[in-house]
Structure 1
Amino acid sequence: MLRVPQSQFLGPEDLAICQRVFDQICADAMLDRDSTDSQALALTVLTFFQRGAVDHDELLAAVLSRLEEFTKPRGEN
């Protein structure tokens, strides 16, 4: 079944996919879920989802391609 992401509303299934991707990346990268970096990660997960990466594996791959933005030590460019 083709799923089209909603631009405004995310249903329970959508949120569950986003949450699993967020949780997996936080655990793998040892990110504190309450940190500024994890907030940026959450925003990125939701953004990629709303842009069409609605499958767990596709969403995970898209976000992981940007992972260095969330794990780079402060002060580096």
Structure 2
Amino acid sequence: MVQTILSRSQVPLDSRDLETCQRVFDKLSADYAVARDSDEAERMASIIIELYRQGVRDPNHLQSMVQAARGLFETNGRPTTPVTAPARNR
């Protein structure tokens, strides 16, 4: 019998995964004044989702990698700030 093993990229994202991706997207969109309905926003969202599916789960790593992929590194002297995770209820 042959078992099919799904790679991480084939597993559907759950609500927590999507929240993480959304936070990164919102942070980068705000930092770089990217309109949500622009081609740039669509490319950025695609990169975020693809990186996340490939195993990049840390929001700050996602942010850095998207900046590198899109050439968004800060050039005007304004430092980038890390993405913060929401507080968890215990």
TM-score (norm: length of structure 1): 0.76
Among 7, 10, 26, the residue aligned to 1:23: 26
**Of the two, which has the highest radius of gyration?**
2
Q: Where do 5+ consecutive residues of structure 1 fail to align?
A: 70-77
2:40 partner letter: D
Runs of 4+ in 1 over 4 A off after TM superposition: none
Cα distance in structure 2, aligned partners of 1:46 and 1:6: 10
Query: CA RMSD, aligned part only?
Result: 1.9
Cα distance in structure 2, aligned partners of 1:8 and 1:61: 24
Q: Where do 5+ consecutive residues of structure 2 fail to align?
A: 1-7, 73-90
Which has the bigger relative contact order, CA under 8 A and spacing at least 6? 1
Instruction: Report % sequence identity.
Output: 29
TM-score (norm: length of structure 2): 0.66
Aligned residues: 66
Q: Which has the higher helix share?
A: 1
Q: Does 1:54 align with 2:57?
A: yes
